[in-house]
């Protein structure tokens, strides 16, 4: 029963982890999408409000123009036709006059004065003048001035606007309230059958001089006429929307309605109906603008342009990173949980799993979606993977040797070659960023990591490199850093759970040793148990060191003045029994304090002590001497031992992750220790190097912030 439960948990746990990873990734993508759409909608709302203010500002400018025309009548005994022409001609030079079909004056005519009025206008040089439309009415009005007095405007001369209900309502409102009014939707008399537009009119009342206008009745009795402007809506709102490049990802359509959003009340549309039906609407906002009681409904539509609409690239990057992490952790956990619990087959199963894990790692590395290259010992590249060739559009033959460099950006060419050659000559890893031309001619930023390759006998074989496209990452900024922090937290949790299989494996070996008589086990069984136990310990140490490496770049407690002597003394006390057993001598007199968090300072000296104790010289007692000096605000430490040392050609290589020059089955070293030390020191703006101790051994020189 227990075996069945364990087998069930071993099968289900990776899938549960994968499901949780997919759920977290989906939620992350959803919230990133919401943030993108919220920001886009907020920009769209701000844009629409800006257009509404422009429309209101344009109407208010025209209002002031009409008020100035009314003031001209108020200030003069009589405004002649020529004076009105000069007045309008002067105004037409103003940029705000754009959109006005004309500026005119409509005279109020009592019925008993109609005949005299027509006779007067004919005497002024208009023999064909007559009031339109014909027919008897209670009251009349007539457009007698309209400038410019040419073209379409000649059709309005003598027109009685008061005879038409929509115009009459606006004229009555202006007369009775003594304010500027705006009419509803009309068709101007200036319109022809071609290019017909919706129109509206703005009115300002003019009263006879020295007449009281305090009440509505008084204003009606004192009415002289109206200064007015006819507007063709397309001309009025022309260019109120800024021009957008045809290749833009987002366009905005504007429609203006008279009072309510109804097809019959459409005053203006920035796009014709055929294009509007084909558009993919992303968002829609309706606003209202009130001009002295006259409401216009503004309808804005945000539609996708030729580039496809809102940019969701950040969401896709988040989803890709999350899915990759979830599947990698799924594979890692499943590989670790697939070990058998059968003691008789445990050694074989562990060896099989280790080989299987190595093969899986190689398969993942070979099929990774990155650009990969290989070079020989003469600095010539001889292999590029399919991703690289698809990216550049070159064939393998065209890319070999230095052919690949033809796609480098001219500004990055020399920097790239200098970095590559310098690292190649020193047999060191390198990391550099440069721009490489894609097959479509666009330069993309790549992050190129190059690592020297060595055979088992340390023969240099050349370099292997991998490149990733970081163009979008450079644009992501803070959100990518936040995503990295979340991914790192998720890795910490996964590493914590990976400790459990190693702990159980070691515990199971101990149980076997207690339950099985040792005298009944042959030498192969004892060696297998020992191998299993050492592998479990090594895996546990590896996970711990990975956690330390991930946490090495950031403080784990308060950064303050720390006594290095106290930290060293505490570490020596923990190792006192072993130090006494091997007769080691430790001298750390007069070391300076530093400004750092205590856990990371403890990690540095703990790793250095463990390395010194583990790699001591077999023929002489271990001696460790720690000294420091204060220079330019930095404390420079020298941690020297008389151990076996490290040859000069390998002193940079050992700072790489999982790098060990000596590998033994009973050795708990993970090959990450010096990488952790360098990561901590460099995060404090310092550096660490290895030197030979005088008389033999190794000296680690590093610096940290002083106090």
Instruction: Tell me the pairing of strands 430-437 and 443-454.
Output: antiparallel
Report d(CA 284, CA 188) in Å as an integer.
31
Where do we find the tokens 């200036």?
Answer: 190
Calculate mean pLDDT across residues 146-152: 87
Q: What local confidence, expressed as pLDDT, does residue 368 receive? A: 63
Q: What local confidence, expressed as pLDDT, does residue 600 receive? A: 93
pLDDT at 206 over 60: yes
| Residue 103 backbone phi and psi in degrees, to 5 | -130, 120
Position 76 confidence tier, pLDDT thresholds 50, 70, 90: confident
Could you tell me which residue, 90 or 508, shows the higher pLDDT? 90
Report d(CA 376, CA 177) in Å as an integer.
92
Tokens of 488: 């790192």
Quote the number of domains for the chain.
3
Tokens of 347: 């050694």
Among candidate residues 236, 255, 280, the one where a domain is terminated: 236
Q: What local confidence, expressed as pLDDT, does residue 415 receive? A: 93
Calculate mean pLDDT across residues 325-352: 63
- pLDDT tens for 115-142 read 999 999 999 889 989 999 988 888 999 9
How far is C-alpha 606 from the geometric centre of its chain's CA atoms? Answer: 41
Where do we find the tokens 């010539």?
Answer: 380
Q: What local confidence, expressed as pLDDT, does residue 124 receive? A: 87
Where do we find the tokens 């148990």?
Answer: 529
Query: Per the domain annotation, does 671 fall within a domain?
Result: yes
Give yes or no for a contact between 385 and 365, defined as CB atoms under 8 angstroms apart: no
Instruction: Provide the percentage of residues in the chain whose pLDDT is more than 70.
Output: 79
Q: Which residues pair with 304 in a beta bridge?
A: 250
In this structure, the answer to whether residues 456 and 599 fall within a common structural domain is no
Calculate mean pLDDT across residues 282-309: 80
Q: In whole numbers, what is the pLDDT of the chain averaged over residues?
A: 82
Of 213-217, 220-224, 247-251, the poorest mean pLDDT is in 247-251
In this structure, the answer to whether residues 98 and 9 fall within a common structural domain is no
Position 650 confidence tier, pLDDT thresholds 50, 70, 90: confident
In this structure, the answer to whether residues 127 and 180 fall within a common structural domain is yes
Query: Per the domain annotation, does 609 fall within a domain?
Result: yes
144 half-sphere exposure, CB direction, 13 A CA radius: 22
Give SS3 for 291.
strand
Q: Which residues pair with 109 in a beta bridge?
A: 140
Could you tell me which residue, 312 or 484, shows the higher pLDDT? 312
Let me know the angle formed at the C-alpha of 480 by 31 and 251, rounded to the nearest 5 degrees.
60
Query: Per the domain annotation, does 638 fall within a domain?
Result: yes
Q: What local confidence, expressed as pLDDT, does residue 228 receive? A: 94
Q: Is 617 exposed, middle or buried (0-12, 13-18, 19+ CB in 10 A)?
A: middle
Strand order in the sheet with 199-207: 140-147, 103-109, 223-232, 199-207, 181-182
Position 665 confidence tier, pLDDT thresholds 50, 70, 90: very low
In this structure, the answer to whether residues 501 and 599 fall within a common structural domain is no
Q: What local confidence, expressed as pLDDT, does residue 551 receive? A: 72
If we measure between CA atoms, which residue out of 506, 136, 113, 473 comes closest to residue 318?
Answer: 473
In this structure, the answer to whether residues 656 and 584 fall within a common structural domain is yes
If we measure between CA atoms, which residue out of 170, 106, 103 comes closest to residue 143?
Answer: 106
Most confident of 192-201, 265-274, 316-325, 674-683: 674-683
| Residue 296 backbone phi and psi in degrees, to 5 | -115, 130
In this structure, the answer to whether residues 348 and 488 fall within a common structural domain is yes
Query: Per the domain annotation, does 307 fall within a domain?
Result: no
Calculate mean pLDDT across residues 629-649: 93
Let me know the angle formed at the C-alpha of 410 by 407 and 413, rounded to the nearest 5 degrees.
75
Could you tell me the CATH number of the domain that includes residue 179? 3.30.450.350
In this structure, the answer to whether residues 133 and 83 fall within a common structural domain is yes
pLDDT at 697 over 90: yes
In this structure, the answer to whether residues 514 and 384 fall within a common structural domain is yes
Q: What local confidence, expressed as pLDDT, does residue 607 receive? A: 93
CA torsion sign for 503, 507, 510, 512 is negative
Report d(CA 388, CA 386) in Å as an integer.
5
Residue 631, number of CB atoms within 10 A of its CB: 10
Q: Which residues pair with 372 in a beta bridge?
A: 466
In this structure, the answer to whether residues 18 and 82 fall within a common structural domain is no
Among candidate residues 179, 202, 236, the one where a domain is terminated: 236
Query: Per the domain annotation, does 97 fall within a domain?
Result: yes
Name residues whose C-beta falls within 8 Å of residue 477's C-beta, 6 or more positions apart in sequence.
none
Calculate mean pLDDT across residues 500-529: 66
In this structure, the answer to whether residues 93 and 9 fall within a common structural domain is no
Position 443 confidence tier, pLDDT thresholds 50, 70, 90: very high
Could you tell me the CATH number of the domain that includes residue 650? 3.30.565.10
Position 365 confidence tier, pLDDT thresholds 50, 70, 90: very low
Tokens of 317: 């990057």
Q: What local confidence, expressed as pLDDT, does residue 291 receive? A: 84
Report d(CA 600, CA 702) in Å as an integer.
14
Query: Per the domain annotation, does 184 fall within a domain?
Result: yes
Give yes or no for a contact between 258 and 267, defined as CB atoms under 8 angstroms apart: yes
Q: What local confidence, expressed as pLDDT, does residue 561 receive? A: 95
Instruction: Provide the percentage of residues in the chain whose pLDDT is more than 90.
Output: 40
Could you tell me which residue, 480 or 320, shows the higher pLDDT? 320
Query: Per the domain annotation, does 41 fall within a domain?
Result: no
Element holding 688 (H helix, E strand): strand 688-692
If we measure between CA atoms, which residue out of 434, 424, 333 comes closest to residue 380?
Answer: 424
Query: Per the domain annotation, does 356 fall within a domain?
Result: yes
Could you tell me the CATH number of the domain that includes residue 490? 3.30.450.20
Give SS3 for 571.
helix
In this structure, the answer to whether residues 175 and 213 fall within a common structural domain is yes
Q: Is 225 exposed, middle or buried (0-12, 13-18, 19+ CB in 10 A)?
A: buried
Calculate mean pLDDT across residues 398-415: 93
| Residue 454 backbone phi and psi in degrees, to 5 | -130, 145
Q: What local confidence, expressed as pLDDT, does residue 452 receive? A: 93
Residue 561, number of CB atoms within 10 A of its CB: 10
Position 236 confidence tier, pLDDT thresholds 50, 70, 90: confident
In this structure, the answer to whether residues 340 and 480 fall within a common structural domain is yes
pLDDT at 361 over 50: no
Q: What local confidence, expressed as pLDDT, does residue 144 receive? A: 92
Among candidate residues 193, 210, 236, the one where a domain is terminated: 236
DSSP 195: S
Position 341 confidence tier, pLDDT thresholds 50, 70, 90: very low
Q: What local confidence, expressed as pLDDT, does residue 505 receive? A: 65
Could you tell me which residue, 102 or 168, shows the higher pLDDT? 168
CA dihedral 172, 175, 181, 187 (to 10 degrees): 40
Report d(CA 385, CA 657) in Å as an integer.
25
Most confident of 58-67, 177-186, 651-660: 177-186
Calculate mean pLDDT across residues 656-682: 70
Q: What local confidence, expressed as pLDDT, does residue 395 receive? A: 92
Residue 42, number of CB atoms within 10 A of its CB: 10
Q: What angle do the packed helices 2-75 and 313-337 form, to 10 degrees?
A: 170
Could you tell me which residue, 596 or 243, shows the higher pLDDT? 596
Q: What local confidence, expressed as pLDDT, does residue 47 receive? A: 85
Range of the domain at 418: 2-36+312-525
CA dihedral 543, 549, 550, 552 (to 10 degrees): 140
Q: What local confidence, expressed as pLDDT, does residue 234 receive? A: 83
Could you tell me which residue, 209 or 480, shows the higher pLDDT? 209
Calculate mean pLDDT across residues 233-243: 75
């Amino acid at each position: 029963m227990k075996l069945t439960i364990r087998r069930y948990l071993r099968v289900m746990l990776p899938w549960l982890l994968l499901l949780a990873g997919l759920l977290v990734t989906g939620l992350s993508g959803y919230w990133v999408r919401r943030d993108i759409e919220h920001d886009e909608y907020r920009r769209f709302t701000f844009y629409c409000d800006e257009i509404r203010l422009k429309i209101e500002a344009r109407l208010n400018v025209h209002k002031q123009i009409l008020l100035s025309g009314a003031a001209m009548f108020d200030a003069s005994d009589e405004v002649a036709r020529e004076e009105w022409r000069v007045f309008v001609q002067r105004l037409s030079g103003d940029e705000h006059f754009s959109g006005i079909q004309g500026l005119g004056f409509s005279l109020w005519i009592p019925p008993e004065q109609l005949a005299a009025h027509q006779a007067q206008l004919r005497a002024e040089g208009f023999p064909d003048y007559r009031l339109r439309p014909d027919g008897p009415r209670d009251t009349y009005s007539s457009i007698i001035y309209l400038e410019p007095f040419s073209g379409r405007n000649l059709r309005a001369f003598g027109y009685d606007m008061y005879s038409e209900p929509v115009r009459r309502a606006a004229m009555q409102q202006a007369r009775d309230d003594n304010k500027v009014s705006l009419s509803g939707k009309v068709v101007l008399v200036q319109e022809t059958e071609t290019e017909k537009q919706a129109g509206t009119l703005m009115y300002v009342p003019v009263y006879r001089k020295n007449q009281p206008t305090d009440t509505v009745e008084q204003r009606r009795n004192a009415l002289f006429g109206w200064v007015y402007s006819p507007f063709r809506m397309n001309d009025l709102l022309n260019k109120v929307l800024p021009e957008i490049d045809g290749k833009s990802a987002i366009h905005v359509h504007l429609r203006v309605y008279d009072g309510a959003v109804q097809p019959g009340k459409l005053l203006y549309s920035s796009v014709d109906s055929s294009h509007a039906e084909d558009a993919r609407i992303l968002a829609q906002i309706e606003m209202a603008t009130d001009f002295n009681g006259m409401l216009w409904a503004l309808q804005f539509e945000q539609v996708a342009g030729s580039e496809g609409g809102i940019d969701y690239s950040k969401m896709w990057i988040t989803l890709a990173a999350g899915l990759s992490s979830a599947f990698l952790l799924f594979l890692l956990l499943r590989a670790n949980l697939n070990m058998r619990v059968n003691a008789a087959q445990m050694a074989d199963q562990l060896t099989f799993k280790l080989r299987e894990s190595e093969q899986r790692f190689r398969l993942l590395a070979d099929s990774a979606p990155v650009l990969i290259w290989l070079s020989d010992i003469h600095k010539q590249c001889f292999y590029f993977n399919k991703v690289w060739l698809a990216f550049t559009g070159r064939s393998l033959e065209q890319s070999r040797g230095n052919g690949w460099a033809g796609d480098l950006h001219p500004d990055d060419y020399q920097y790239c070659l200098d970095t590559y050659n310098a690292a190649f000559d020193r047999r060191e890893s390198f990391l550099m960023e440069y721009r490489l031309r894609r097959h479509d001619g666009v330069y993309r930023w790549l992050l190129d990591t190059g690592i020297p390759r060595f055979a088992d006998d340390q023969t240099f074989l050349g370099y292997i490199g991998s490149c990733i496209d970081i163009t979008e990452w450079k644009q992501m900024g803070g959100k990518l850093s936040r995503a990295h922090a979340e991914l790192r937290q998720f890795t910490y949790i996964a590493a914590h759970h990976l400790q459990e299989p190693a702990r159980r494996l070691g515990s199971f070996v101990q149980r076997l040793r207690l339950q099985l008589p040792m005298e009944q086990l042959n030498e192969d069984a004892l060696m297998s148990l020992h191998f299993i136990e050492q592998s479990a310990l090594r895996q546990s140490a590896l996970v711990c060191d990975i956690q330390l490496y991930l946490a090495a770049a950031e403080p784990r407690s308060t950064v303050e003045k720390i006594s290095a002597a106290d930290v060293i003394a505490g570490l020596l006390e923990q190792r006192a029994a072993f130090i006494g057993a091997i007769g080691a001598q430790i001298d750390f007199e007069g070391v300076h304090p530093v400004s750092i968090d205590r856990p990371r300072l403890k990690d540095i000296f703990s790793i250095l002590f463990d390395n010194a104790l583990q790699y001591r010289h077999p023929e002489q007692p271990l001696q460790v001497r720690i000294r420091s000096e204060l220079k330019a605000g930095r404390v420079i430490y020298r941690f020297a031992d008389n151990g076996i040392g490290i040859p000069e050609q390998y002193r940079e290589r050992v700072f790489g992750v999982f790098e060990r020059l000596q590998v033994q089955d009973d050795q708990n070293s993970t090959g990450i220790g010096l990488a952790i030390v360098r990561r901590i020191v460099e995060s404090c703006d310092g550096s660490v190097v290895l030197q030979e101790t005088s008389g033999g051994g190794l000296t680690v020189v590093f610096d940290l912030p002083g106090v």
